[in-house]
Structure 1
Amino acid sequence: MARIAFLCPPFAAHVASFRALGDELAARGHAPFFLLNAGAEESSGAIPVHHVPGRRGDPEVDRVLAAAEKPGGLLATLRTIADSAALTDQLCEGGPDQLRALGAELIVGDQLEPAGFLLARALDLPFVGLACAVPIDPAPGVPLPFLDWPYEPEAEAKLRRTSAIAAALSRRQNRMIAAWAERFGIGPHAILEDCLGEVQLAQMVPALDFPRPDPLPFVPVGPLRRAADIADAPPPFAVPVGHPLVFATMGTLLGGDLKLWRALAVACKDAGAALVIAHGGRLSDAEAASLGVHHAAAFLPYRAVMRRSSLVITHGGSNTVLDALACGVPLLVRPVGFDQPGNLARIRHHGLGEKLASPRRPRRIAEQVARLVEDAAMASRCAVVAEALASAGGARKAADIVEQCLP
């Protein structure tokens, strides 16, 4: 039995992916545990959660999460990167004592939280990186994940300029990384990409990603999901007969946007489709009822609904995109920040969906819905990606690799 530490940003989607890996490792007799920032979630199923001590002046996790949930495109993403620097600082300050006391023998760290790599090197522990979101590993022609640019192998000068701008805007985080690398005495590490580690896992698979040269810098394991989350249970509503089912979820980012929901409700009705929405608890019962959709709920079992859907409408979060494509369902995407534009760019590249039209143009959305639910060629392309995701290995393969890295 090995004690395996998980370090990741305190965002629900990232924690959920780590939790699925943790369940698989626990089933094999290991003892995984989370080490999170002070104020992060207290429970993660059967996986114990520990926290580093809070310090005066540290940003409150709830405030960071609330700020991250406000749509704002690139600026919001970069603001969150700056906030995250303080959380990294907190983990690096309190992490060594906590990890020693908890008997950590290996660290699995999220790509977006450099503290995992820095602490592993400081404590001389094996490290496995995990890309829950779009991988940040650089590659020729591959734009940064927060851009919706296409794959442009001939546009390296453009990509270099953008990377330089991103580095300048991320200087607070970069200074934090460099300072802790020096303090830990682990050699020069100046930017996030320096903290990826030699062994990396990714939920992204080549069938969905932009082209990258071989060998890949990460092992594509596909979606990390618990068995209960992907079980083929019946959805909690009557499946419509004679009308295609459209499932819409905007996470917590846009879950309370009534104008958007109303536009989707009108568009799906005009397209002859039955709309089901998961609003993340951001609508009241009265607001949800006023939409007049087939079914509305705060939360729904995604895979159970998606397997019966002809189309998924989403903000483009990595977990939602992967779940939809694992079910072979095309997507309409309205990205608002983080890696969502990068997911949209990859969806377009492979012909798996489109960008959602403006809510001010419900007729245009209706046209998109009507066309995509009948697009047999697109459905066939989505089925190819579904097969690739199913064969990638998931939590079992990820656990195999983690075990291979144990001392």
Structure 2
Amino acid sequence: MDAWSGRLQISQQPDAFEFPRRELPQHVRFVGPLRLPGGYQAVPFPWERLDGRPLIYASLGTLQNLVAGTFRVIAEACDGLDAQLVISTGHGVTPEALGDLPGRPIVVSYAPQLDLLRRSAVAVTHAGLNTVLDALASGIPMVAVPVTNEQPGIAARVVWVGAGEAIAHTRLTPQALRAAVLRVRSNPSYRTAAEQVRDSIQAGGGASRAAEMIEQSLGLGG
């Protein structure tokens, strides 16, 4: 089915994470993240380095993260907070290239994102759809720092549903990010909003429900 199909259009956003529309076609359906159980490969991680403090997980995605200075801003913002920072650099930036960062965060190339998000108090993200949906699926509030492409629109939705705050990448400073992290972490309304979207994700049915819809649309249902 093409993206403009008049028969069925499936979105991996939950309906609670989409702006209201006056005339949404009936064939547009929201099912939540298209993930399969066990779909993520196991990723090594130094779990023994977690020290029990509240966790802040930071990721700028796996591809569009060639902004190494942003990781230093994140580290400076979180330095001195009663929290432990984990940074996942993704492709293009190695932990070694970042050198020593303020606060001595755990820095890895790739992280078991879902497992870490479930333990986190706050996520700092570039507002890529996959990372945002992973955070919301765990009911985790976030600070979004959109860089390009769909990210400003996703960040706007994070703010609209009340699950976090957003800072434009061009306006990012350690002081601004630190203040946003503290607000999101200390105000329970952000987590409550994220948990409401989590519930919408769980109700959406995900990949299994999407497969059922496709079969029904093609007349393949039993």
What is the TM-score with the length of structure 2 in the denominator?
0.85
Aligned length: 216
Pairing 1:371–2:180 present: no
- Classify the secondary structure of the residue corresponding to 1:373: helix
**Cα distance per residue 1:82-107 (max 9 Å; x no partner):** xxxxxxxxxxxxxxxxxxxxxxxxxx
Q: Distance in 1 between matches of 2:140 and 2:166?
A: 15
Mark the CA change 1:308 to 1:362 in structure 2 (over 3 Å): closer, same or farther: same
Deviation at 1:258, TM superposition (A): 2.3
Q: Distance in 2 between matches of 1:294 and 1:238?
A: 14
Deviation at 1:375, TM superposition (A): 1.6
What is aligned with 2:167?
356
Q: 2:18 aligns with which of 198, 209, 215?
A: 209
**Cα distance per residue 1:287-309 (max 9 Å; x no partner):** 24522543211111221111011
What is aligned with 1:393?
205
RMSD: 2.6
- Classify the secondary structure of the residue corresponding to 2:193: helix
Gaps of 5+ in 1: 1-107, 112-194
Q: Distance in 2 between matches of 1:231 and 1:307?
A: 17
**Cα distance per residue 1:298-343 (max 9 Å; x no partner):** 1112211110111111111111111110110112112122221111
Preserved contact between residue 43 and residue 111 of structure 2 (Cα < 8 Å): no
Mark the CA change 1:325 to 1:405 in structure 2 (over 3 Å): closer, same or farther: same
What is aligned with 1:380?
192
Preserved contact between residue 237 and residue 295 of structure 1 (Cα < 8 Å): no
What is the 5 A alignment of 1:67-106? none
What is aligned with 1:306?
117
What is aligned with 2:61?
251
Deviation at 1:262, TM superposition (A): 0.7
What is aligned with 1:161?
none
Preserved contact between residue 75 and residue 105 of structure 2 (Cα < 8 Å): no
- Classify the secondary structure of the residue corresponding to 1:219: strand
Q: Distance in 2 between matches of 1:232 and 1:247?
A: 18
Q: Which amino acid aligns with 1:312?
A: A
Q: Which amino acid aligns with 2:19?
A: F
Structure with higher Rg: it is 1
Gaps of 5+ in 2: none
Preserved contact between residue 306 and residue 324 of structure 1 (Cα < 8 Å): yes
What is aligned with 1:199?
8
Preserved contact between residue 315 and residue 333 of structure 1 (Cα < 8 Å): yes
Aligned sequence identity (%): 33
- Classify the secondary structure of the residue corresponding to 1:270: coil
- Classify the secondary structure of the residue corresponding to 1:310: strand
Preserved contact between residue 202 and residue 219 of structure 1 (Cα < 8 Å): yes
Query: Which structure is richer in relative contact order (CA contacts within 8 A, separation 6 or more)?
Result: 2
